[in-house]
Structure 1
Amino acid sequence: MRLRLRLFEFEDLPWFPTTIRAGMMDYLRFMISALGIYRPIAPLLAEGLRRTNQTHVLELGAGAGGGTETVWRALQAEGLPNVTITLTDLYPQPAAWADIAHQTAGAIGYEPTAVDALAVPAHLRGFRTIFSAFHHFPPAAAQAMLHDAVRAGTGIGVFEGAGKHWRELLLAWTALPVAQLLLTPFYRPFRLSRLFFTYLIPVIPLFTIWDGSVSLLRMYSTDELLALAHAADPAGLFEWQAGKQRHSWGPEVTYLIGWPK
């Protein structure tokens, strides 16, 4: 699928209710973690950490932290036993993040205040990553995010949990909504509001279907990712690579990763 449309996602809108956004993020966190969507990129991220002599990852646009614990454990399996991660977002979710911090004994921590991925505060250091969220940024903002990483002299990895295929769009309309209805009672932390807005007034599933579909249509291709990277780094200070990593059971992850030469 080469089509890329600049449609809107409800979770991006400042007025969108926090409770509904949190319910949608809880679903994404559960599914991404349960399916191990981002496990295939662990070797790439491990290489980036070694190339930059870092053991800390700064996750931008973390949402509810979906998949972060899986990535952390995969990095340990790649020979980085001391790796730590800090979760950040423009709309922080400390309740969800505190659960992840507890499950990992603090190895995955979080910044409780809002963090703009286009202008990361100097005190937040580490190899930057953004999972499932780069498509939210229009080209100028996406380029600014990459440029901010170049300016700071740190590495950055952009990862989208799809290969941008029409069959993924079909899944977003069929199987995934059914899974959401079946699995919602098992999400942590438990929220009565999540049950109410899933089963009694099903706005969480409906908004999830819309935003999931739009996410695929907004995704950048690998060629577009490289073009953004080179525009953000006109002096050629970073080494960049983009591509797709396939999971052992089929799904793909589209990625862009770069580090200082």
Structure 2
Amino acid sequence: MKRIHLFEFEDFAWFPHWLRTSLTRLIVVMHRLLGSGDELAGLIHRALKHTTTPAIVDLCSGSGGPMIEVVDTIRQKHRIQNLTLTLSDLYPNLELAQQINNKPNQPVRYLTTPVDATDVNPAMKGVRTMVGSMHHMRPEVAKGILRDAKEQKQPICIFEISDNSFPIWLWWIALPLNFLIPFFITPLVRPLTWQQIVFTYLIPIIPLFFAWDGAVSNTRTYTLEDLDLLLDGLASDDYYWEKGRLVGKAKKLYLLGLPVLKQ
């Protein structure tokens, strides 16, 4: 594989929750600026045709990414009014979960207990999504996630905004740019907390971690050729895979796992 599994700070269990949340909120802004919502809505709408359950089960949700926006887009544009979204994570964002779960009569909930993406509760049916998170997984874990979706015959959509198509050394040259990005996009973060402001502009810890994790994300991202290795042995007549790139404001990689519905 071209992919190299270096560490990202936000993967460590000891990493402070407020710092992890600050980083994932910046990623939410990046998705918005790169137009991920509309592209994801199109992919997930296709995947929904391969399930009888109008539901999305988002894995490794962090601060939600673009998924809440995606659900609204699908409900309005594709007229799937009964569509629901379940957010989940191995390290749930309990603050966001409380905000979401306290709102009545809405199609979104956030599970407050840890969810292992390699062993999803069979009762959680619908399209599984992993947005900007598959690169965090080592190959054996990544393959386990894909295998679990296939064995449970649930559609899955993998989506990455990081890009491993360039020579790896180029990403280290981009470290200074990655460091500067939070200074420009932090005003777009919601909610904007005092920690996000202080540790960006006065004590720039957040930009430092953002720069490192951002550069490492590119080296960890599975290329299309790497995905072929992950999919080895997972092909069958009743479940098929599609992979490709979407080229817009940035190169984005996707992988769809689609069960064949019985007629």
Give the shorter-chain TM-score range.
0.7 to 0.9
The answer for the alignment partner of 2:26 in structure 1 is: 27
The answer for the alignment partner of 2:85 in structure 1 is: 85
The answer for the alignment partner of 1:157 in structure 2 is: 157
Larger deviation, residues 40-49 vs 203-212: 40-49
Larger deviation, residues 129-138 vs 107-116: 107-116
Change (3 A) 1:51 1:146: same
Unaligned stretches of 5+ residues in structure 2? none
Change (3 A) 1:101 1:174: farther
Contact 1:94 1:112 in 2 (8 A): yes
The answer for the alignment partner of 1:251 in structure 2 is: 250
- C-alpha distance in 1 between matches for 2:254 and 2:139: 16
Change (3 A) 1:33 1:105: farther
Letter in 2 for 1:5: I
- C-alpha distance in 2 between matches for 1:102 and 1:175: 38
Change (3 A) 1:172 1:66: farther
Change (3 A) 1:45 1:141: same
Give TM-score, length-normalised by structure 2.
Answer: 0.87
- C-alpha distance in 1 between matches for 2:35 and 2:228: 26
Change (3 A) 1:38 1:225: farther
Instruction: Tell me the secondary structure at the aligned position of residue 116 of structure 2.
Output: coil
Does structure 1 residue 61 correspond to structure 2 residue 63?
Answer: no
Does structure 1 residue 198 correspond to structure 2 residue 200?
Answer: yes
Unaligned stretches of 5+ residues in structure 1? none
Does structure 1 residue 74 correspond to structure 2 residue 77?
Answer: no
- C-alpha distance in 2 between matches for 1:227 and 1:12: 24
Instruction: Tell me the secondary structure at the aligned position of residue 220 of structure 1.
Output: coil
Larger deviation, residues 188-197 vs 217-226: 188-197
The answer for the alignment partner of 1:43 in structure 2 is: 42
- Report % sequence identity: 32
- C-alpha distance in 2 between matches for 1:100 and 1:178: 31
Instruction: Tell me the secondary structure at the aligned position of residue 257 of structure 2.
Output: strand
- C-alpha distance in 2 between matches for 1:154 and 1:160: 20
Give TM-score, length-normalised by structure 1.
Answer: 0.87
